[in-house]
Structure 1
């Protein structure tokens, strides 16, 4: 069997606060989905104990066998790893590393029964395994996704398809277009597939005038309205996109319907951007972008990186986001100019705290507008995080 396990989940905050790292998008697909595509089989998950109830509620199929390891030799892949080719059977205990000797996973027959991300961490600390270099790359932080985002979107492309509706007054350059059943591309839309493939998933609407540059993935039930989607853009399911988006990931249910710019950024679920919200993704001196994560200043190694924005965060009209901003979950950014580079979860403006009762009420209203209900496990997780962060 093949397992994907959470590792270094703190490095993926705030994205990992309300989902396992296994479900983080790295292109059109999550880390787990990429492995399933590569190996052609279901991949089982091993996650933090504190997320098991949330997994059962939001990913019931995954939860059925989560954190359960039968006896025998198995392959364990660290979440954040992207492999370039399937592995042959490994008949010994080995650590699997990339060219930089970052851990990609391991093979062992020493683990069985109930396991968790925490127990895997303990096993690796005590194990003395031989290293085996394989083809792949480990992403230790979410911004490292952007170093190869266009490549990953291209790898995730499922092939050309023409089952949707393409208006005769829409323009397509190149042939690498996947138009799924129920998708509609209206007059005035321009889709450029010459430098990379474009997917318009089922029941998605592309309104003109819109420019889409491949490689690009537009997920199911999404509406793109008068937008410029630059190469490397990924829109998950049920998003709303207008204005300009470049080389960014909208995880799901993101609302950016108005003018503004988002570049080289990862936005979690249920983020809402006010009109003319824009972020910087390049410093004036073209130096590497640095971020602050859990009080530590870290160089991203990237010249172009915008921001990470957690689930349910909202911006007011005219909000300006600095290069390398880290913004938590349930933050309300009130606009009126350049916001802070580091905005904690549950912030109301720059100096106040979002009241728990109000944020839960608002989140429930927002989700109901898309016919989604807030389950008890999600609500419990939000309350637990609020107590941990706010007290």
Structure 2
């Protein structure tokens, strides 16, 4: 059977991360959603996504196809239903189609002619950006059980202090020295050729993916994931960091999600709790407004290729788009559109040709290439996000949330960011 993962109706609620990837490429737990489905199915998958992403993430159709809503994470019960689908059959979770069998995946499907199979079992679904970190512990445990089943960990150096060592797994080539690994509160997974240097304190659940790197003296609380080639240090709690991203110095990151190829400057920190302890609101691209998360703790959501200078401070529930460069004193706004350059005193549009020069240099350091395919995606994202940069010449156009944060600042600063086009 040919399996195809499609974005589904939650795609816009997962921006800015889905500006540059299908929903299936979101990492939560140890693996991406695609990797989870492929391990369960024992089969490769392709994607139906936005047209501008399809060059990088192409679709392969065959005579018969099963389409799967990739906002749903797989489990054994669900996968058994999916693998048993026949022609004109569809699985529904409430009113939401979860998977269906089709002969023509690109055509509109009339589900009234389908046999509906109701699924009411356990399910883990990613519907909002904050689900990525808030549900990371559950996803990490499920991935750990699947990835390590029937396997034996590589040897763990005796220089370490281990608590609940049976819940710690090192892949081939992984190295951990002179550190404290406490897996009593969740599993600890260290990926292939990953390194944990001396003097680190790590409390599960924690995943360091292939060739990830923890510098000396980090304090990491679960449930935290560091993607492939990620580099971290400082204090981190309940956060998901996608691949090739660096938080390489001191500073606090909590209840946050960082996309790929991001960089946090030394001593940069975020607030994750408002000073009145009320629930956090966060910018939502789908409604173009601030929406409640129903969470008391929520930090930053940072899209791919965004970065900040040293000592940058972020308010509770800040959303940063793709390719934003933030620096300077004071607190920037809670919503920073894509392709922005500046800080609390104002922003200009970050010109693509300048950004591309940075991308090429940064990616080359890790033997990766910023090619024409990537450039076309970033150019399309620039066009799609233009309206929010244009919305900033007057204070009345700035999206605001009526909140006060733990650091004592207001979401409505007296200094209004002024947007101009960089020369």
State the TM-score bracket (shorter-chain normalisation).
0.7 to 0.9
**Cα offset for 1:108?**
3.3
Structure 2 unaligned residues grouped into runs of 5+: 388-423
**Cα offset for 1:363?**
1.0
Distance in 2 separating the partners of 1:263 and 1:389: 27
**Cα offset for 1:94?**
4.8
**Cα offset for 1:315?**
0.7
Partners of 2:14 and 2:128 within 8 A in 1: yes
Distance in 2 separating the partners of 1:249 and 1:44: 24
Distance in 2 separating the partners of 1:309 and 1:325: 8
- 1:59 aligned residue: none
Structure 1 unaligned residues grouped into runs of 5+: 56-62
Match of 1:143 among 130, 152, 166: 130
Match of 2:92 among 97, 120, 125: 97
Partners of 2:136 and 2:240 within 8 A in 1: no
SS in 2 for 1:245: strand
Match of 2:63 among 59, 62, 71: 71
Quote the RMSD (CA, aligned, Å): 2.2
* Number of matched pairs: 369
For residues 130-170 of structure 1, what are the alpha-carbon distances to aligned partners after superposition, in whole Å with 9 as ceiling and x for unaligned? 46124323322221233321111011012264325x33221
- 2:142 aligned residue: 155
**Cα offset for 1:49?**
2.1
- 1:303 aligned residue: 296
- 2:360 aligned residue: 364
**Cα offset for 1:289?**
1.5
- 1:60 aligned residue: none
- 1:20 aligned residue: 22
TM-score scaled to structure 2, two decimals? 0.81
Distance in 2 separating the partners of 1:129 and 1:345: 43
SS in 2 for 1:54: coil
Matches within 5 A, 1:196-211: 196-211=186-201
TM-score scaled to structure 1, two decimals? 0.88
Distance in 1 separating the partners of 2:278 and 2:312: 24
Distance in 2 separating the partners of 1:126 and 1:14: 34
The 1:296/1:67 distance shift into structure 2, 3 A limit, reads farther
- 2:259 aligned residue: 268
Distance in 2 separating the partners of 1:67 and 1:47: 12
- 2:401 aligned residue: none
Partners of 1:78 and 1:103 within 8 A in 2: no
For residues 19-77 of structure 1, what are the alpha-carbon distances to aligned partners after superposition, in whole Å with 9 as ceiling and x for unaligned? 1111111211111112222333333322222212122xxxxxxx4xx242x334x4322
Distance in 2 separating the partners of 1:46 and 1:383: 20
